Amino acid sequence: SSAVDAPVQLTDQELYDVRSLSISPDGKQFLLCLSRYPIGSVIEEYAVDQPLRIKATFQPHVAGETSSGAIFGGAAYVHDGMDIVFTAASAGCEFDYNVYQISAVTGSHLLALTHGQGAINAITVDRDGTSFFVRDGHSFALDPNTRALREEKL
């Protein structure tokens, strides 16, 4: 095994309820979606070369979020790291999740990309920017340009 194959420790912080990890396309930054007491769900951005310092914190509010604030399920970079897609509970119920997008630069420009019911297990992003997620046992692909949603065969 070479040094290239060895794992690299990114942080030694005490993190609670980490829901996802996403590395930026250029490999210089990473996102963690987690819970922070007492503020709740957050998406934090770190520089790989300074993993102990939070570069940015995102806590977007979505329509119909719970009374305690947004509950995020996962987050990932899209559009060459310029935007972030994430899942969040909506419709006032912790089990109805949808996919949203914000600017990774400003944290603004919130877009709802899906409007559905049910839990979303995880979200991943392909090199072309297509987002993939599973909702209630069905796999979906979300086109980054047209925002068209199509069901994929499992």
Q: Report the C-alpha gap between 88 and 70 in whole angstroms.
A: 7
pTM of the complete model beyond 0.95 = no
Quote the pLDDT of residue 27. 92
Quote the pLDDT of residue 2. 53
Q: Report the C-alpha gap between 119 and 135 in whole angstroms.
A: 6
Secondary-structure percent of the chain, ordered helix, strand, coil, rounded to 5: 5, 50, 45
- Cis ω before 38 (30° cut-off from 0): yes
Q: Are the C-beta atoms of 11 and 47 separated by less than 8 Å?
A: no
Nearest to 48 by CA among 72, 14, 22, 74: 22
Q: Are the C-beta atoms of 134 and 141 separated by less than 8 Å?
A: no
In order along its 154 residues, the chain shows pLDDT tens digits of 455 677 766 666 677 788 899 999 999 999 999 988 888 899 999 999 988 889 999 999 998 887 778 889 999 999 888 999 999 987 655 578 999 999 999 999 999 999 888 889 889 999 888 999 998 889 999 998 888 999 998 6
Report residue 153 CA to chain centroid gap: 23
